[in-house]
Amino acid sequence: MTAPLIVANWKMNGSEALLRDVAEALVDRQGSVDVVLALPAIHMSLARALLQDGIRWASQDVHWLESGAYTGELSAEMIAQMGASHSIVGHSERREYFAESDEIVAKKANACFRAGLIPIVCVGESREARQAERTEAVVCEQLEVLLAGLPQGAERLIIAYEPIWAIGTGAEATPEMAQAVHAVLRDTAQKRGFRLDKVLYGGSVKEDNVAALMSMPDIDGVLVGGASLSAQGFSALCANAAATHN
Ligand code: 13P
């Protein structure tokens, strides 16, 4: 049984003090969970100095080109040089506030592979799409465009299913709802000749609901926003995920 993958997405939050607290709180968790901290890029040099074996770090975005006149951007190569192992790509906040299309998301995922980073690509439906029973259509379309832009058989691809209506709202998808979407994503990828390394669930994951989510067969881990910003809370969440992993 592989350890559950718990990815903390700090978004535009956190501090060096929080990173120190999280590192300390996670010391006892090593081995039982696989933790990746998606940090603001400015904290990566401290992460490199501070984090012990088993706790890795990630960026929350990358540019799709290796270098160039793109003020304010960071390339996947730069992120890899900072020792990161993964990058989140296509988070719904990037799609909404920075107008990232499925095609741009695919280019960014490609850039991650080129630089040796593992992409964690987010997909998810709006509340309106869920109410119109279009969840599967929306997430499969996002996945299909992504896969069409990747080299056939690209491995180590991680998909995070993050229903937009569940992000930061306290209204998480039920384990059954998430399981159903994860199974469809796996199936769709397989039909296109890809094997998804892991499928994560994100959206209001907390210490007290992570166990039920992790008990589902196609939920390999979670992508955690708000609940990753407390060292003790995040450590407890990791413990609960480890205790009930399917
Ligand atoms: P919350 O856990 O705060 O709902 O955020 C989820 C998320 O967007 C993680 O990427």
Give 67-82 pLDDT, tens digit per residue.
999 999 999 999 999 9
Residues having CB closer than 6 A to ligand 1 are: 9, 91, 162, 167-168, 202-205, 223-227
pTM of the complete model: 0.97
On the question of pLDDT at 49 being above 80, the answer is: yes
Per-residue pLDDT band for 2 (boundaries 50, 70, 90) equals confident
Q: How far is the CA of 73 from the centre of ligand 1 (A)?
A: 23
d(CA 34, CA 216): 18
Q: How far is the CA of 56 from the centre of ligand 1 (A)?
A: 19
Which among 92, 209, 223 is the best mutation to test ligand 1's pocket, defined by most ligand atoms within 8 Å of the CB?
Answer: 223
Residues 6 or more apart whose Cβ sits within 8 Å of residue 187? none
d(CA 62, CA 46): 19
Which among 60, 96, 224, 230 is the best mutation to test ligand 1's pocket, defined by most ligand atoms within 8 Å of the CB?
Answer: 224
Closest CA to 189 of 139, 223, 120: 139
The structural domains of the chain, with segments of one domain joined by +, span 5-245
For residue 25, CA distances in Å to 55, 56, 57, 164, 224 come to 12, 15, 16, 30, 16
Q: How far is the CA of 101 from the centre of ligand 1 (A)?
A: 20
Residue pair 80/57 in contact (Cβ under 8 Å)? The answer is no
Ligand 1 nearest-atom number relative to CA 227: 2
d(CA 164, CA 170): 12
Instruction: Name the DSSP letter for residue 160.
Output: E
Residue pair 22/51 in contact (Cβ under 8 Å)? The answer is no
Which among 205, 207, 209, 229 is the best mutation to test ligand 1's pocket, defined by most ligand atoms within 8 Å of the CB?
Answer: 205
Per-residue pLDDT band for 244 (boundaries 50, 70, 90) equals confident
Residue pair 102/66 in contact (Cβ under 8 Å)? The answer is no
Radius of gyration, alpha carbons of the chain: 17
Instruction: Name the DSSP letter for residue 204.
Output: S
**Catalytic residue annotation:** 91, 162
- Give me the CATH code for the 5-245 domain, please: 3.20.20.70
Between helix 135-148 and helix 102-115 the angle, nearest 10°, is: 50
Looking at residue 113, its pLDDT comes to: 95
Would you give the end-to-end CA distance of the chain in angstroms? 8
On the question of pLDDT at 245 being above 70, the answer is: no
Which two structure tokens, joined as six digits, stand for 178? 């998430």
d(CA 201, CA 159): 9
Which residue type sits at 245? H
Q: How far is the CA of 151 from the centre of ligand 1 (A)?
A: 29
Q: How far is the CA of 167 from the centre of ligand 1 (A)?
A: 5
